C-alpha cells in the first residue's frame, strides 16, 4: 500500500559510500531500491527532490522529553513532533524524568504510549543507577528487554569510580552502551557558567573547564581498566577533546558527541545575564569552539546530538544563578550543522555520518543508511531554503533558546518514518 | 562643573557604561550635595512628590539607610520592601515582584539582591530608573562612587594614583565596581589576596596588577582599599581562619608604612577590626572610613538627582 518514489534528489548515504543524484523507491515502509532513473512498475506517489538532499533519517541521541513528571515543559507528543520537524526520524530520550526511568515498566509504558504518536521514533535510555543516585546499578537485562537502548545517569556523573567500573562491566554483558555525563560534581558545584573572564565580569560562580577534563580522564581510565566502551555526552571543552583523541589513538573504545551550541556560541552569549545561554555543560571559549570543530573533522567526535532540554519561563525567567540549565535544540540542530558545512570542511556526507549513521551504530538501531531492505526512515533536506527561526512557531512546548530570531539557510523539508510522511515543511509544493 | 550635555542611561547597574565625564559629573554633583547635608535644614525640594522604592532582598543596614536619607533629603517619598516582610518570603518570584513594583508606578527603584544580575533583570522590565545597591558578587556602583568621591576630596586628581585593593576580590562587588571606576578615571590598580580569593582575568578585564601577598600591592600606594572578609561564610574554605588571614593580609602599621606616608585608607564596612586591619590603623588619621559613610549619602543624592526624571530639575546645580 505504501509505494512512493523520491525523484531526482542528491542521495547521501556514507554507509554505502554514496553521494549522487538518484531516485529512492519506498515500498511498504522499507527501502526497495536506490538507483538513478528508477521507474517502478506500479504507479508510486511521487516526491520531487530536485536540488535537495535525500539522507538516511537523522537520529538525535540526546534529548529530554520531560515525560513523565514535567509535561508542562515537553511531553512525548510535542517532543517527537518537534523532532520530525527538525528532520529527526528517531530520538533517544534521557531518563532524568520524574520518576527517573530506572525500572522496566516505566520504559515499557513510555514505549507503548509512543507507538500511537505521530512524530519520530522514540528510543529510551534507562538510568544507570537506581534513582540516578550513582550508588546501585539498575537491572540492565530487564531494562534492555523492556526496550531500553542505553544506560546513563545524564545530568549527573557517576562519581564513585567503583560503581562506574561495575556499570561498564555490566552494561557490556547486557549489550547496552553506557553514556556518561562527564563533569566532576564537586569542582563544578554551585557554578553557573565556565570560569573565565565572563564569570569574573558578571560576578557569577564559575565552573573550571577541568571539571569536564577530570571526569573524562577518569572515564577513560576505567575503559582501560575494564576493556569496555564508554560514550561521553555533550563534549564542551578543548581539554576533553584532547583526552578523547589520545584515548582513541591508543585504541580504546571511547566515543564522544557534542552539541551544536558548543560549535557556534561561546560564554560571551550570556551577555547581560541571558539565561537562554545557560546550559550544562556551559558554553566555553572560542578556543573550545575551535577544538570541538576540529574534533568533528578529524574523527575524534563522531556524533552530534542536540541535548534538547526544554524549560518553561518559570525556570528560565528568574535570577541567572537560579535559572535551570538547558536549551531546546531539536529544530535548530540540523540548520546549524548545515551552516557549518559552509563554514568549515564538513561535507554533507560527514554531516550524515555525525547525525545518522554513527548514532545508529552506537545504539544498534535500524536505519542510519538507505540500504535496500532497511526501514524507509528518510530526511529530505533543502540546503538553500532560508528561514528565520522563531521558537514560538516551533513544535516544542518550550522556547528556551539562544538562537531565537537567527536567520538560517537550509533545513529539513520532508521527514519520513517507515515510509510515512511525518513532517512536511509548510511551503513545500506537494 | 556639571555638564548639561551628557546623556544619562536610564539605570545605574554598574559603572561600566559611564565615561570619565559622567563619573566626574556625578562626583561634582555629589560635592554640591554634601553641602546640603551640612545645612541646618538638610532638605531640598528636588524630588518632591516622587516615590523611591527601596527593595532590599539581602540584609543591609548602612546602604539602605544611606539611600533612604539621600531620597528624603531630596524630598522624595520612600517605601522600603525588605525580603522578610514582603511576599518574596512567600515564594513570589523576582518577575512577579517586578510586575507588582511596576504597577505601583515608582519614580525610582533601588535594589539590593543576593543574585548577580537581579538589578539588570528588573531594569529590563521596569520603566523607572533602577539603581543597583549591590548584586551578588557583581557590582556595587554607589559604593564605588562614594569611594571615588572620598579619594577625590583628598587628592588633587584620581588619574595616576596607585590604588591597592586587598582582600576577597573574587567575591567582592565593591572591588569590581571600584576597579571599573578607577580604570575609567586613570588610576593604577593593584589587587592582592590569597589565590582562592582571586578571579580569572583581572588583568585583562580591569587592567589590574595581581598579587598574592599584600606587600607589593601596598608599596608606594596612594590609596588602600581593604575589603571585608566574610568570616562566617568563608573561613576554613577560602582561607584557614581569621587569625591566619590577619597575619598574612591584615593591614597593620608595618605594612601601612610600605604605602606613601599620606596614603588614604578606605573600607566599605563594617570592619572586622583585628582581621582586615588593626584597631590602630582603623583609628589613625589616614583612615577615612566614617567620611565614606557621609560621602555615601551625597553620592546617592547625586545619582537620584541625575537619574530620576524630574521636570522641575533646576538648571545647573543651584540648590
- Domain hosting A9: range is 3-54+374-424
**pLDDT of B3 strictly over 80:** no
* Residue A201 forms contact with B (CB below 8 Å): yes
Count the alpha carbons within 13 Å of B44 in the hemisphere toward its beta carbon: 23
Does residue A391 lie in a domain region? yes
Determine, yes or no, domain membership for A282: yes
For residue B318, name the pLDDT band (cuts at 50, 70, 90).
very low
Q: Kindly state whether residue A430 falls inside one of the protein's structural domains.
A: no
Who's near B311: CB < 8 A, 6+ residues apart?
none
User: How far is residue B300's CA from residue B52's CA, in Å, rounded to a whole number?
Assistant: 12
Residues B47 and B71 grouped into a single domain? yes
Measured in degrees and rounded to the nearest 5, phi and psi for residue B155 equal: -120, 150
Q: Please give the residue range of the domain that contains residue B246.
A: 141-293
- Is residue B137 scored above 50 in pLDDT? yes
Residues B289 and B176 in one domain: yes
Tell whether the torsion through CA atoms of A402, A404, A405 and A406 is positive or negative.
Answer: positive
* A312 interface with B at CB cutoff 8 Å: no
Instruction: Kindly state whether residues B222 and B151 are assigned to the same domain.
Output: yes
Q: Is residue B45 part of a domain?
A: yes
Residues A240 and A326 in one domain: yes
Asked if A187 has any chain B CB less than 8 Å from its own CB, the reply is no
Q: Is A307 a residue of the active site? A: yes
With respect to residue A368, please indicate whether it lies within any of the assigned structural domains.
no
CB B64 within 8 A of CB B112: yes
- A160 and A279 together in one domain: yes
B107 and B172 together in one domain: no
- Catalytic residue, chosen from A60, A154, A184, A307, is A307
Structural element, H or E, at residue B94 = helix B94-103
Q: What is the helix (H) or strand (E) element at residue B293, kind and residue range?
A: helix B289-307
Residue B84's pLDDT is 58
The answer on A181 and A117 residing in a single domain is yes
Burial (CB < 10 A; 0-12, 13-18, 19+), residue A290, is middle
Closest residue of B to A202, CA-based? B138
Do B97 and B212 lie in one domain? The reply is: no
Q: Tell me: the pLDDT tens digits for A52-72?
A: 999 999 999 999 999 999 999
Please count the structural domains in chain B: 2
pLDDT in tens, A376-403: 999 999 999 999 999 999 999 999 999 9
| C-alpha distance from residue B131 to each of A226, B53, B54 (Å) | 58, 10, 9
Q: Which tens digit of pLDDT belongs to each residue from B221-247?
A: 999 999 999 876 666 688 888 899 999
Q: Is some CB atom of chain B closer than 8 A to the CB atom of A267?
A: no
**CA-based angle A96:A100:A101, to the nearest 5?**
100
The residue among A203, A267, A273, A284 with the most chain B CBs within 10 A of its CB, best to mutate, is A203
pLDDT tens-digit readout, B169-195: 999 999 999 999 999 999 999 999 999
The number of domains in chain A is 2
Helix, strand, or coil (residue B277): strand
- Reading the block at residue A285, the C-alpha cell is 571559549
> Which CATH number belongs to the domain containing residue B182 in this structure?
3.40.50.1370
Same domain, A234 and A193: yes
Q: Is B118's CB within 8 Å of A322's CB?
A: no
What integer pLDDT is reported at residue A426 of this predicted model?
Answer: 87
Whether residue B316 is predicted with pLDDT greater than 60 in this model: the reply is: no
How far is CA B195 from each of CA A400, B168, B170, B212, B258, rounded to the nearest angstrom? Answer: 36, 9, 9, 6, 22
Q: For position A182, which CATH number holds?
A: 3.20.20.140
- Based on the domain organization, do A342 and A400 belong to the same domain? no
For residue B4, the model assigns a pLDDT of 61
- Among A19-28, A94-103, A191-200, B37-46, the minimum mean pLDDT is found in B37-46
DSSP for B53-82 reads: EEEESS--SHHHHHHHHHHHHTT-EEEEEE
- Looking at residue A40, what is its pLDDT? 87
Of A206, A317, A320, the CB nearest to B117: A320
CB proximity list for A52: less than 8 A, separation 6 or greater: A9, A10, A380, A381, A382, A383, A413
Cα A412–chain centre separation: 16
Is residue B26 situated within a structural domain?
A: yes
Decide if pLDDT at A202 tops 50. yes
Whether residue B86 is found in the same domain as residue B145: no
**pLDDT given for residue B1 in this prediction:** 43
Contacts of B205 (CB under 8 A, 6+ apart): A197, A200, A201
pLDDT in tens, A269-317: 999 999 999 999 999 999 999 999 999 999 999 999 999 999 999 999 9
Q: B-chain residues within 8 Å CB-CB of A317? A: 93, 95
Is residue B148 domain-shared with residue B267, that is, in the same domain? Answer: yes
For residue B201, the chain A residues in CB contact (below 8 A) are 196-197, 200
Question: Do residues B165 and B117 share a domain?
Answer: no
Any domain includes A369: no
B147 lies in some domain: yes
Q: Are residues A237 and A318 in the same domain?
A: yes
Mean pLDDT of chain A: 97
Residue A322 has pLDDT above 50, yes or no: yes
Eight-state DSSP code of residue B90: G
Q: Is residue B2 part of a domain?
A: no
Q: What are phi and psi of B215, to 5 degrees?
A: -60, -50
pLDDT value at residue B317: 46
* Chain A CA closest to residue B123: A272
Between chain A and chain B, the number of residue pairs with CB atoms below 8 A apart is 62
Evaluate whether A237 touches A196 at the Cβ level (below 8 Å). no
In this structure, the answer to whether residues A310 and A386 fall within a common structural domain is no
Question: Is B315 a residue whose pLDDT tops 70?
Answer: no
Q: Does residue B284 lie within any of the structural domains?
A: yes
Are residues A107 and A230 both part of a single domain? yes
Q: Is residue B76 part of a domain?
A: yes
Residue B297: pLDDT band by 50, 70, 90 thresholds? very high
Please tell me whether residues A294 and A152 are part of one structural domain: yes
Do A310 and A162 share a domain, yes or no? yes
Name the maximum alpha-carbon separation found in chain B: 56
The domain that holds A388 is classified in CATH as 2.30.40.10
B215 burial type by CB count under 10 A (0-12 exposed, 13-18 middle, 19+ buried):
exposed
Per the domain annotation, does B262 fall within a domain?
yes
More confident of the two residues B293 and B58: B293
State residue B312's pLDDT score: 47
Contact residues for B59 (Cβ-Cβ < 8 A; gap 6+): none
Put simply, whether A387 touches B (Cβ < 8 Å) is no
**Contacting A residues, span 269-288, partner chain B, CB-CB under 8 Å:** 272-273
A213 and A264 assigned to the same domain: yes
What cell does A343 get? 563554514
ipTM score of complex: 0.91
Residues B45 and B26 in one domain: yes
Q: Which of B93, B200, B204, B234 to mutate to test the interface with A (most CBs of A within 10 A)?
A: B200
Instruction: Verify that A253 and A300 share a domain, yes or no.
Output: yes
Q: Are B289 and B299 part of one and the same domain?
A: no
- Report yes or no on B160 lying in a domain: yes
pLDDT above 80 (res B313): no
Q: What is the C-alpha R_g of chain A?
A: 21
Amino acid at each position: 500500500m505504501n509505494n512512493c518514489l523520491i525523484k531526482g534528489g542528491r542521495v547521501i548515504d556514507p554507509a554505502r559510500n554514496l553521494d549522487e543524484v538518484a531516485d529512492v523507491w519506498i515500498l511498504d515502509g522499507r527501502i526497495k531500491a536506490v538507483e538513478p532513473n528508477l521507474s517502478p512498475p506500479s504507479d508510486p506517489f511521487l516526491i520531487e527532490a530536485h536540488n535537495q538532499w535525500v539522507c538516511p533519517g537523522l537520529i538525535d541521541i540526546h534529548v529530554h522529553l520531560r515525560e513523565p513528571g514535567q509535561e508542562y515543559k515537553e511531553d512525548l507528543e510535542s517532543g517527537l513532533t518537534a523532532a520530525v520537524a527538525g528532520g529527526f526520524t528517531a530520538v533517544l530520550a534521557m531518563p532524568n524524568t520524574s520518576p527517573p526511568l530506572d525500572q522496566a515498566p516505566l520504559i515499557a509504558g513510555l514505549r507503548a504510549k509512543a507507538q500511537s504518536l505521530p512524530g519520530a521514533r522514540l528510543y529510551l535510555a534507562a538510568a544507570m543507577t537506581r534513582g540516578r543516585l550513582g550508588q546501585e546499578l539498575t537491572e540492565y537485562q530487564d531494562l534492555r528487554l523492556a526496550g531500553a537502548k542505553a544506560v546513563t545517569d545524564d545530568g549527573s556523573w557517576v562519581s564513585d569510580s567503583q560503581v562506574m567500573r561495575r556499570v561498564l562491566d555490566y552494561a557490556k554483558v547486557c549489550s547496552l552502551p553506557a553514556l556518561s555525563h562527564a563533569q566532576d560534581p564537586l569542582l563544578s558545584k554551585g557554578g553557573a557558567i565556565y570560569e573565565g573572564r565572563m564569570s569574573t565580569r558578571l560576578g557569577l560562580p564559575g565552573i573550571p573547564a577541568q571539571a569536564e577534563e577530570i571526569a573524562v580522564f577518569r572515564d577513560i581510565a576505567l575503559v582501560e581498566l575494564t576493556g569496555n566502551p564508554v560514550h561521553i555526552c555533550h563534549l564542551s571543552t578543548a581539554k576533553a577533546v584532547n583526552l578523547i583523541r589520545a584515548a582513541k589513538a591508543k585504541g580504546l573504545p571511547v566515543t564522544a558527541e557534542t552539541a551544536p551550541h558548543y560549535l557556534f556560541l561561546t560564554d560571551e552569549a550570556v551577555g547581560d545575564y541571558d539565561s537562554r545561554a545557560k546550559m550544562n555543560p556551559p558554553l566555553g571559549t572560542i578556543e573550545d569552539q575551535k577544538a570541538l570543530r576540529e574534533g568533528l573533522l578529524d574523527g575524534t567526535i563522531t556524533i552530534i546530538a542536540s541535548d534538547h532540554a526544554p524549560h518553561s519561563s518559570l525556570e528560565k525567567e528568574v535570577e541567572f544563578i537560579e535559572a535551570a540549565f538547558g536549551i531546546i535544540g531539536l529544530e535548530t540542530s540540523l540548520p546549524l550543522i548545515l551552516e557549518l558545512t559552509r563554514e568549515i570542511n564538513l561535507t554533507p556526507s560527514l554531516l550524515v555520518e555525525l547525525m545518522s549513521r554513527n548514532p545508529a551504530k552506537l545504539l544498534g538501531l535500524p536505519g542510519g543508511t538507505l540500504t535496500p531492505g532497511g526501514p524507509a526512515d528518510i530526511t529530505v533536506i533543502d540546503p538553500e531554503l532560508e528561514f528565520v527561526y522563531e521558537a514560538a512557531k516551533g513544535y516544542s512546548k518550550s522556547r528556551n533558546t539562544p538562537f531565537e530570531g537567527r536567520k538560517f539557510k537550509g533545513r529539513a523539508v520532508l521527514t519520513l518514518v517507515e515510509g510515512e510522511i511525518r513532517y512536511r515543511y509548510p511551503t513545500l509544493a506537494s | 562643573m556639571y555638564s548639561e550635555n551628557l546623556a544619562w542611561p536610564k539605570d545605574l547597574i554598574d559603572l561600566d557604561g559611564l565615561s570619565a565625564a559622567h563619573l566626574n559629573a556625578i562626583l561634582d554633583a555629589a560635592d554640591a550635595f554634601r553641602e546640603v547635608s551640612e545645612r541646618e535644614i538638610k532638605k531640598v525640594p528636588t524630588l518632591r512628590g516622587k516615590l523611591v522604592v527601596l527593595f532590599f532582598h539581602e540584609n543591609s543596614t548602612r546602604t539602605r539607610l544611606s539611600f533612604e536619607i539621600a531620597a528624603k533629603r531630596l524630598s522624595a517619598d520612600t517605601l522600603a520592601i525588605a525580603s522578610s516582610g514582603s511576599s518574596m518570603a512567600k515564594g513570589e518570584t523576582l518577575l512577579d515582584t517586578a510586575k507588582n513594583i511596576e504597577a505601583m508606578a515608582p519614580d525610582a527603584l533601588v535594589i539590593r539582591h543576593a543574585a548577580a544580575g537581579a538589578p539588570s533583570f528588573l531594569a529590563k522590565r521596569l520603566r523607572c530608573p533602577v539603581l543597583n545597591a549591590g548584586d551578588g558578587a557583581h557590582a556595587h556602583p554607589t559604593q564605588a562612587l562614594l569611594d571615588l568621591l572620598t579619594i577625590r576630596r583628598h587628592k588633587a586628581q584620581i588619574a595616576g594614583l596607585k590604588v591597592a585593593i586587598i582582600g576577597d576580590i573574587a567575591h567582592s562587588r565593591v572591588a569590581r565596581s571600584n576597579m571599573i571606576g578607577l580604570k575609567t578615571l586613570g588610576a593604577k590598580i593593584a589587587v592582592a589576596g590569597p589565590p582562592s580569593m582571586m578571579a580569572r582575568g583581572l588583568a585583562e578585564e580591569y587592567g589590574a596588577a595581581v598579587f598574592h601577598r599584600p606587600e607589593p600591592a601596598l608599596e608606594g600606594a596612594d590609596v588602600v582599599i581593604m575589603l571585608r572578609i566574610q568570616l562566617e561564610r568563608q573561613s576554613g574554605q577560602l582561607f584557614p581562619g581569621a587569625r591566619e588571614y590577619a597575619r598574612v593580609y591584615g593591614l597593620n602599621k608595618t605594612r601601612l608604612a610600605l604605602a606613601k606616608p599620606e596614603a588614604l585608607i578606605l573600607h566599605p564596612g563594617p570592619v572586622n577590626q583585628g582581621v582586615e586591619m588593626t584597631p590602630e590603623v582603623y583609628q589613625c588619621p589616614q583612615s577615612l572610613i566614617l567620611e565614606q559613610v557621609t560621602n555615601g549619602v551625597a553620592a546617592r543624592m547625586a545619582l537620584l538627582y541625575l537619574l530620576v526624571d524630574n521636570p522641575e530639575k533646576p538648571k545647573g546645580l543651584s540648590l
